[in-house]
């Protein structure tokens, strides 16, 4: 499998269904840890920590990345972050966690469907990347 950097550099934004759209529609299986009418959270298949969960909006609505956010996306962006807090508590991450949103090729974004990485269960280092 290509590295995340290689995958990000090869990825291009598209209106075609993403892997996340296929996870939402259950075409591709995932280990779901949280779901409501707006957000789906599931375990990352290449975890970067003992806990690594992806949180995605169920409707893309043109929000392929954070740099594409418009005022109409304020509610879902807030919902993603609040849901990350709920999932972190559910996962026992009382000592802390990291939230990551990759944006664009240099930000190492490989799927153009906005998503939040919730990573925890170990000591994080600074600076990242």
Q: Reduced to 3 DSSP states, what percent helix, strand and coil does the chain have, rounded to the nearest 5?
A: 30, 20, 55
Confirm whether 113 is a catalytic residue: no
Do the beta carbons of residue 77 and residue 69 sit within 8 Å?
yes
Among 52, 113, 115, 117, the active-site one is: 115
Residues acting as catalytic residues: 115
């Amino acid at each position: 499998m290509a590295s995340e950097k290689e995958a990000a550099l090869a990825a291009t934004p598209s209106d075609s269904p993403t892997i996340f759209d296929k996870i939402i529609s259950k075409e591709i299986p995932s280990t779901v840890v949280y779901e409501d009418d707006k957000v789906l959270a599931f375990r990352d298949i290449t975890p970067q920590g003992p806990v690594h969960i992806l949180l995605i909006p169920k409707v893309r609505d043109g929000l392929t990345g954070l740099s594409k956010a418009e005022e109409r996306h304020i509610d879902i962006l807030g919902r993603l972050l609040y849901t990350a807090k709920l999932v972190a508590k559910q996962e026992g991450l009382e000592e802390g966690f990291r939230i990551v949103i990759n944006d664009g090729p240099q930000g190492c974004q490989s799927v153009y469907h906005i998503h939040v990485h919730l990573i925890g269960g170990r000591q994080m280092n600074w600076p990242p990347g």
